[in-house]
Structure 1
Amino acid sequence: MPWVAPLSGKSVSLSRRTIYMLPTRHGFMFSLLLFVLLLAAINYENGLIYALTFWLASMAMISMLHTHRNLLGLKISAGPCAPVFAGESARFTLILKNELALPRQGLSVLVDKNEVGRVDLGAGEQGSVTFPVNARQRGYVDMPPVALLTDYPMGLLYTWSRKIELHHRCLVYPKPGPARPVVGGVDSQQKRELGTRSEGDDFIGVREYQAGDSPRHVDWKAAARGQGLQTKRFGGDARSIIWLDWEALEGIDTETRLSQLCRWVIDAEADGMIYGLRLPGREIKPANGEAHRHQCLEALAMFGH
């Protein structure tokens, strides 16, 4: 119903004013059957057919009450959404909470009139449905409007909710660019490139090979054993401070710069390096760790927004 305002908020609860009911195809056929049985009972004055007709009609009425109750009072909210890179799919989670002492069965979640999940809830239980949304560009992608539908228990009628617009979104990092040596400042006595070995460094492990890695650091023995191409990682006590600088990437457009800086942040963190980020109007001091990685990638994602 496009003329009906959607429900909106961080969480919503379905009331009588926000759910609707119509017969299904089977429901229309069932109604036709009742009409034929009633005509037969009247025509033949048959008490048994009368009894069957009214018994089936009472079952339909009970089904109507259960179908309506299946959505009534249901609470809907959104779960956390992990950041993704542009070009990937954001995974949104819809949380359904049943506060009744009765179960709710056959709850379908719809996005753009397409079913993306189905869940059954026991008495007082909570369930969730996760569905993907394409994240085409950096920034934020909003959770699309959803609706709930059920035809439980007999499939004679179906009840659906208004569209639900939850105030929830997912952060989208820039799409990582190709692997290439860092062009920027290195604050240390020894300059080094991302992923290369400095004198005195110790072997600390391997990572998946990326285009641009030096052949001297490829683990050829592992490749000969059929383990694929891997690049050796080295580290030392005196780690370089790498500055990932916007101004070092001249002559290319904004989105390409952001993609390349995104790649450097990922690689610097994977190599255990200390790195900072310089953008027009913002500077993130050198550090490392998952929180620092997220801070840098978030700054790239929201650049210009």
Structure 2
Amino acid sequence: MNGPRTPTLAPNARPHRIGPLRRWYQQKLERWLYGRAPDLQPLTLTQRRIYILPTVAGLGFVATLLTMLLVAINYDLALGYAVVFLLAGVGTLGMGQTCRNLAGLTLVPGHADNALAGETLYVTLYARHSRNEPRPALRFNVADDGMACAPVDISLRAAGEVTVTLRITGLQRGPFRLPPIRVESRFPLGLFRTWTIWRPPIAALIYPAPAYPAPALPPLAARGQIRRTTQTRHPWTGEDDFAGLRQRTPADPLRHVAWKIAARRDGIEIATPELLLKHFHGTEAGEQWLSWDDARPECDDHDDPAAGQEARLSILCAWVLAAERRGVPYGLRLPGEDIPPDLGPAHREACLTRLALFGLDTSASAPWDTSAGAAS
């Protein structure tokens, strides 16, 4: 079996706006044609799952043949009959080849990495076949016209396999279930369009968008009880020993910035994350609580509680990412729920998951479990 090929990505596409009546009609038609249950196993396309219709060019081709046939009948042109029947045979063979380009194709579900709201969600799918002939000009895209997703065009070699990566943008916070995938082809003549609808059982989680610029991290809990040893404090001045430099995050205060080093850099602004921060032993010991009450946005709109809630979640998300980079054991305190302080990727995912699902009804979420990756 040949190795996987890199697909050619089409330019970024914006969601096509359609009316509510047309959207309702499309949803009803797709449910009636394709069903609503997900395809839990790798799907091998057969004639029962493949649909074909003429394109606009195909309809024009048929109209042209009918016009030529009428002219040949009117003037009794034997050569005209021959040309019409020859072109009709070519079109019929092209229709069979178009349908054959999808028949026998095996579609394998992949996975989707968790993402932050407003960023790109990457969905990985796989396509393979065992026939000793290539499969050119295949297009993968979501069947929902209201979702911003760029179509992916691929071509399979003989008995080959390819990885398809869909890029979906503009998603909101909360659980996400991948909509049906449309796999289509117009090869070789473009007169007919054949397609299938595939429902891979793929789900992901969309975290809140981190606030930028975010407020400074709240002070450490029980600052007077922070553990310091003689190895971390200077013997004469009693100050913490310098431990090194690290990159500044949006939630870090400006008072710890290494301004002497920043002054030597040309063309770097103060507010950029490329500024370096001085790190001291003992200043980041102890535990830090990221509380809902402390995450107060600067412009708190009391007339819109939903916007205020999303603003608090964005601040908490930025704090979680900043505390994880800083290496401070942190806990999350939400209304009615506390996550004890800890560190590590698993703890970060647990906090981000609580923020993503806060205030949402998850009873209608995806019925299958998915182990998606972490947010970048």
Q: TM-score under structure 2 normalisation? A: 0.67
The question of 1:106 aligning with 2:129 is answered no
Are residues 265 and 81 of structure 1, via their aligned partners in 2, closer, same or farther at CA, if it must alter by over 3 Å?
same
Partner of 2:153: 118
The question of 1:265 aligning with 2:296 is answered no
Q: Distance in 2 between matches of 1:65 and 1:218?
A: 69
Any conservation in 1 of the 2:217–2:251 contact (CA below 8 Å)? no
Among all aligned residue pairs of Structure 1 and Structure 2, give the percentage whose two residues are the same amino acid. 32
Note the residue ranges of structure 1 that are not aligned, 5 or more in a row.
Answer: none
Deviation at 1:180, TM superposition (A): 1.6
Any conservation in 1 of the 2:242–2:279 contact (CA below 8 Å)? yes
Are residues 91 and 201 of structure 1, via their aligned partners in 2, closer, same or farther at CA, if it must alter by over 3 Å?
farther
Partner of 1:63: 94
Are residues 264 and 188 of structure 1, via their aligned partners in 2, closer, same or farther at CA, if it must alter by over 3 Å?
farther
Match of 1:182 among 218, 228, 238: 218
Deviation at 1:167, TM superposition (A): 2.3
Q: Distance in 1 between matches of 2:342 and 2:324?
A: 10
Any conservation in 2 of the 1:120–1:127 contact (CA below 8 Å)? no
Partner of 1:72: 103
SS at match of 2:206: strand
Q: Distance in 2 between matches of 1:233 and 1:46?
A: 91
Partner of 1:136: 172
SS at match of 1:93: strand
Q: Distance in 2 between matches of 1:69 and 1:239?
A: 64
Partner of 1:274: 329
Q: Distance in 2 between matches of 1:247 and 1:159?
A: 52
**AA matched with 1:181:** L
Q: Distance in 1 between matches of 2:88 and 2:204?
A: 48
Deviation at 1:206, TM superposition (A): 2.6
Note the residue ranges of structure 2 that are not aligned, 5 or more in a row.
Answer: 1-25, 298-307, 361-376
Partner of 1:204: 244
Q: Distance in 1 between matches of 2:90 and 2:116?
A: 52
Any conservation in 1 of the 2:290–2:330 contact (CA below 8 Å)? no
Deviation at 1:63, TM superposition (A): 0.8
Are residues 37 and 181 of structure 1, via their aligned partners in 2, closer, same or farther at CA, if it must alter by over 3 Å?
closer
Any conservation in 1 of the 2:226–2:286 contact (CA below 8 Å)? no
Any conservation in 2 of the 1:106–1:150 contact (CA below 8 Å)? yes
1:16-55 CA distance string (max 9 Å, x none): 1222112222222322343344455556665554443333
Bigger CA drift: 215-224 or 44-53?
44-53
Q: Which has the higher strand share?
A: 1
Partner of 1:145: 180
**AA matched with 2:204:** C
Deviation at 1:256, TM superposition (A): 4.3
Supply the RMSD in Å over aligned alpha carbons: 3.4
Q: Distance in 2 between matches of 1:25 and 1:245?
A: 58
Q: Distance in 2 between matches of 1:75 and 1:278?
A: 47
Partner of 2:285: 240
Bigger CA drift: 220-229 or 292-301?
220-229
Q: TM-score under structure 1 normalisation? A: 0.80
SS at match of 1:79: strand
Deviation at 1:250, TM superposition (A): 8.4
**AA matched with 1:32:** A
Aligned length: 299
Are residues 62 and 201 of structure 1, via their aligned partners in 2, closer, same or farther at CA, if it must alter by over 3 Å?
farther
Bigger CA drift: 268-277 or 208-217?
208-217
Deviation at 1:159, TM superposition (A): 0.9
Match of 2:127 among 81, 96, 120: 96
Any conservation in 2 of the 1:92–1:130 contact (CA below 8 Å)? yes
Deviation at 1:66, TM superposition (A): 1.0
1:196-244 CA distance string (max 9 Å, x none): x994243332313536613342434324422443141414379513232
Q: Distance in 2 between matches of 1:103 and 1:231?
A: 53
**AA matched with 1:289:** G
Partner of 1:21: 52
Deviation at 1:187, TM superposition (A): 7.6
**AA matched with 2:137:** G
Deviation at 1:282, TM superposition (A): 5.0
Any conservation in 1 of the 2:220–2:287 contact (CA below 8 Å)? yes
Partner of 1:155: 190
Deviation at 1:14, TM superposition (A): 2.7
**AA matched with 1:82:** D
**AA matched with 2:113:** A
Any conservation in 1 of the 2:111–2:125 contact (CA below 8 Å)? no
Are residues 235 and 291 of structure 1, via their aligned partners in 2, closer, same or farther at CA, if it must alter by over 3 Å?
farther
Q: Distance in 1 between matches of 2:265 and 2:291?
A: 41
